[in-house]
Amino acid sequence: MTTTDRDPVTATTGRDPATATADRYTVISADCHAGADLLDYKPYLESRHHDAFDAWADTYVNPYEDLLADTADKNWNSDRRLAELEQDGIVAEVVFPNTIPPFFPSASLMAPAPTREEFEQRWAGLRAHNRWLADFCAAAPGRRAGVFQILLNDVDEAVKEIRWAAAAGLKGGLLLPGTPPGSGLPELYSSAYDPIWATCAELGVPVNHHAGSASPPLGDEPAARAVFMVETTWFSHRALWHLVFGGAFRRHPELKLVLTEQGSGWIPGVLDMLDYYHGRLVAAATRASTAESKFGAGLAASMGKGPSEVWRENCFVGASFMRPHEVPLRDRIGLDKIMWGSDYPHDEGTYPYSREGLRIAYAGLPRDEIAAMVGGNAARVYGFDLDHLEPIAAKVGPTVEELAAPLKEPPADATSPVFAAGGRVRVW
């Protein structure tokens, strides 16, 4: 099967996430990636950094094969990107970073800066990416919600960048770095970050925490990549309980947290666990002094509502390409919380078989539920205008009939894990 012998795909939620426009869906991918070609960041740097950038770029060796391949321009070629996403049935996207920002050894925001000068250069590199991203999103009005980057080492500078990004129209919100062991930063539950949460809540800026952005360095031993795969989602999940137990949502009730590309099947079990510890520790704190009472001291007052209630009111999941085993949990996760994503242009993403990926997960579900998960929820969280997207979806979106048909055989050359073993691979 090729991508040219099928009807184009889209999913729509219409104005109401419980409706679809005509006979097609409006599909918004809540997980895509982009960035500038290395040298194209230079115009976005302040001129005082140009000589240092030239020296850095002359010796830089990109560690990522997909950014060296002929297809790397999917990250920055706006016309190609629009065409391929439409071909895949997608009309809008939330755009996370992908390429290496200036002065970084890799894409990791936690890469330590040995000197103050290097730290300042890395801030300049992130600002350059954010400004490039604003122009990239402006090249496709209403169809891209850019996710901007900050560092946590300087909260005042982070707040300034949040305000700039919101004014520049980067509706995808903030990419929250992790604070893995060895980072030297306060943990995410620390009140030191309150100015960041307050600014995001004030401006309606979503806080996104993406898989892979919170793991500690593991070295180059043969087992390192396997251990990274086992642990990376757990390190990413940590942001949830840090912010919940840290009381960020009590102090800033308008704050929105989105956990992206971390799977979704883990959420009900983790919420049960967090509710258990919350109830147990709060209860223990009311009893006579015991070893356990100390663990719960002050917890109820500092965090306010329980974890499940916070999830219902403040949190969302960028579930990327949902696996079939996760879909039956949608009511426990929250049907209004789930946002599908294609992970374009990554090899593990569903392109060019997003229609098939949607079918393997959602075939047989009620139309309004599919519409919410593939577009309506993302439109609400990231501020997409469904009236603007509807005419595009009417041309390229997957039909209701198409997504209703179960997928009998996955495409032979598909690379996304959603198709592995019939999509039964679990992501914990």
Domain ranges of the chain: 28-423
Q: How confident is the model at residue 21 (pLDDT cuts 50, 70, 90)?
A: low
The pLDDT of residue 426 is 41
H helices present in 266-374, as ranges? 267-285, 293-296, 299-303, 307-314, 330-333, 354-362, 367-371
Q: Give long-range contacts, CB 8 A cutoff, 24+ apart: 189-195.
A: 189/242, 189/243, 189/245, 189/246, 189/248, 190/246, 191/246, 192/155, 193/152, 193/155, 193/248, 194/248, 194/251, 194/252, 195/155, 195/156, 195/158, 195/159
Above 80 in pLDDT, residue 156? yes
Tell me the per-residue pLDDT of 238-293, one tens digit each, with 9 for 90 and over. Answer: 999 999 999 999 999 999 999 999 999 999 999 999 999 999 999 999 887 788 88
Q: Is the pTM of this model over 0.75?
A: yes
Tell me the per-residue pLDDT of 197-244, one tens digit each, with 9 for 90 and over. Answer: 999 999 999 999 999 878 888 888 989 989 988 998 899 999 999 999
The pLDDT of residue 157 is 96
User: Over pLDDT 90: what percentage of the chain?
Assistant: 76
Q: Find the range with the poorest average confidence among 185-189, 280-284, 395-399, 419-423.
A: 419-423
**pLDDT higher for 338 or 290?**
338
Tell me the per-residue pLDDT of 374-385, one tens digit each, with 9 for 90 and over. Answer: 999 999 999 999
Task: Give the separation between CA 1 and CA 402, rounded to whole angstroms.
Answer: 15
Query: Quick one: average pLDDT of 182-195?
Result: 94
Tell me the per-residue pLDDT of 103-141, one tens digit each, with 9 for 90 and over. Answer: 998 766 766 677 889 999 999 999 999 999 999 999 999
The pLDDT of residue 212 is 83
Q: Tell me the CATH class for 28-423.
A: alpha beta
Q: Find the range with the poorest average confidence among 111-120, 346-355, 380-389, 406-415.
A: 111-120
User: Over pLDDT 70: what percentage of the chain?
Assistant: 92
